[in-house]
């Protein structure tokens, strides 16, 4: 087993519920192995600026149930430059950081690939993103919480939709990936789901809505990922209002409430398991890999694969949408 005296931990990109649970697991596993954990505030930008502080067991007390990240997060354009990376490296050397654990999404690992090709510091990544779009894991930290937040909101929207016989378009997060829309839409019995990965035949959907009205099904919920082909729920509403002006149509954009809130049990368990495994992986000599869960077991994927490949949507779920909406 490799020995480290100090390791650095950072969260980068968009926050996701469960990041704090992961930080807690990393800190306490590190201390168990007599390694001093250091928190790097505000992601790669904080690394450049030397915002690095020692974390103790008490530093992570009472955070497992909190959303967001105690280490803060930021996106750094400066880190994308050679000068920025050199500044970050010098700060790591100044603080004697011998290895890194990175919690974030696709952008976090893209930055890692570039940085670690020049500076050979051992690093392990954890998939922290609500989008669930990272290759190499069945689920990402924060996805389960975000979906449950969306489901709770859509259930409430359906109540008022039925009271007024309205068509509601509910926009959820997912600029490049439709996992939240797909899962929340199916779980809430949405009549239609729009996602970036699949083009919809709008004429058929408009005909379906008209058929519903003829069958006296006056209430409909359409779940729209923000990155769908029409440009989100507001743009889609304009098209529907033009083609079906008789419909009483409303739009609800859930926005950043999907990022916040107390993480679910599943996200706390996933984050804790991956955080513990990240420290063990470094000690075992692994590096430049993301740790995920595949079929219930710890799985390692090189950073280079994480940024080149994307997690495909399950074909059976895509087929199921149209069957269950009838």
Asked whether the predicted pLDDT for residue 79 surpasses 80, the reply is yes
Asked whether the predicted pLDDT for residue 8 surpasses 70, the reply is yes
- Domains in the chain, CATH or no CATH each: 6-142+263-308 (3.40.50.450), 145-259 (3.40.50.460)
Nearest to 271 by CA among 51, 4, 24: 24
Q: Is 131 a catalytic residue?
A: yes
Contacts of 207 (CB under 8 A, 6+ apart): none
pLDDT band for position 313 (cuts 50, 70, 90)? confident
Give residue 213's pLDDT. 61
Asked whether the predicted pLDDT for residue 140 surpasses 70, the reply is yes
Identified catalytic residue from 131, 133, 144, 228: 131
Asked whether the predicted pLDDT for residue 236 surpasses 80, the reply is yes
φ, ψ (nearest 5 deg) of residue 251: -125, 135
Mean pLDDT of 195-221: 73
pLDDT tens for residues 173-188?
Answer: 998 899 999 999 999 9
Give residue 119's pLDDT. 92
Give residue 298's pLDDT. 97
Residues 148/161, Cβ–Cβ less than 8 Å? no
Give residue 212's pLDDT. 64
């Amino acid at each position: 087993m490799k020995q480290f005296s100090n390791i650095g931990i950072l969260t980068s990109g968009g926050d996701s519920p469960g990041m704090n649970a992961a930080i807690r697991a990393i800190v306490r596993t590190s201390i168990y192995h007599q390694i001093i954990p250091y928190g790097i505030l505000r992601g790669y930008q904080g690394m450049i600026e030397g915002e690095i502080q020692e974390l103790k067991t008490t530093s992570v007390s009472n955070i497992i149930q909190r959303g967001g990240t105690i280490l803060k997060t930021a996106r750094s354009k400066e880190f994308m430059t050679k000068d920025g990376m050199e500044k970050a490296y010098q700060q790591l050397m100044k603080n004697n950081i011998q290895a890194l654990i990175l919690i974030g999404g696709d952008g976090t690992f893209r930055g890692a690939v570039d940085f670690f090709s020049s500076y050979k510091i051992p690093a392990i990544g954890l998939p922290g993103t609500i989008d669930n779009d990272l290759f190499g894991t069945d689920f990402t930290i924060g996805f389960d919480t975000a979906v449950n937040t969306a489901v709770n909101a859509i259930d409430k929207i359906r109540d008022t939709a039925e009271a007024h016989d309205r068509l509601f378009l509910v926009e959820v997060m997912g600029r490049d990936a439709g996992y939240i829309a797909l899962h929340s839409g199916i779980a809430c019995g949405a009549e239609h789901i729009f996602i970036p990965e699949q083009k919809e035949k709008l004429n058929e959907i408009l005909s379906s809505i008209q058929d519903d009205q003829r069958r006296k099904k006056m209430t409909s919920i359409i779940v729209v990922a923000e990155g769908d082909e029409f440009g989100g729920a507001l743009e889609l509403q304009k098209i529907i209002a033009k083609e079906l002006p008789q419909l009483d149509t409303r739009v609800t954009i859930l926005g950043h409430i999907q990022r916040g809130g107390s993480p679910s049990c599943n996200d706390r368990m996933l984050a804790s398991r991956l955080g513990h495994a990240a420290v063990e992986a470094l000690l075992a000599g692994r590096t430049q890999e993301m740790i995920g869960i595949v079929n219930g077991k710890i799985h390692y994927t090189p950073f280079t694969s994480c940024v080149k490949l994307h997690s495909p949507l399950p074909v059976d779920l895509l087929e199921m949408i149209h069957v269950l909406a009838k």
